[in-house]
Amino acid sequence: MPAHNEQLAQLFQSIATLLATQRANPYRIRAYRRAAESILALEEDVAMIAARRELEEIDGIGKDLAGKIREFLETGTIRTYEELKTPLPPDVKNWARLPGFHDSLVSYLYVRLGIRTLDDLEQLVSSHLLRTVPGFTGSEDALLQAIRQQKSSPQN
């Protein structure tokens, strides 16, 4: 079995496992698992298929996963995997207790948007940009109040 295929399949399986622990969309988890199985079943190196621009012809590989395969072939890793395996600092993890927040939203804000402190978070909410972030379900006013209360508590 070509080395690229085995490494890529392991990465996709790891992504699926990490997503499952975060209770992510089950269809997304299944897509990564199916892609891993399809890649393991290939007799040809996935790099050769990519060179011919035929990744999407592999069973279970769509545009998004084809992009991740190309990213792996170019960089040796997949950013999604790196983001998922990076643990959040304890202070940031506690943001999941804020109104309208949950673990995957906190991860998104930290990893994708670079929100690192309560001050950063307060600024994001005050600018009303949080309402454009997928997964936020709470009231901005209640969230701002909770952030300000947390900032003024003696623990911080």
Give the global pTM.
0.63
pLDDT digits (tens, 9 = 90+) for 14-28: 999 988 876 778 999
**Distance between CA atoms of 131 and 53, rounded to whole angstroms?**
38
pLDDT above 60: residue 59: yes
**Distance between CA atoms of 102 and 121, rounded to whole angstroms?**
14
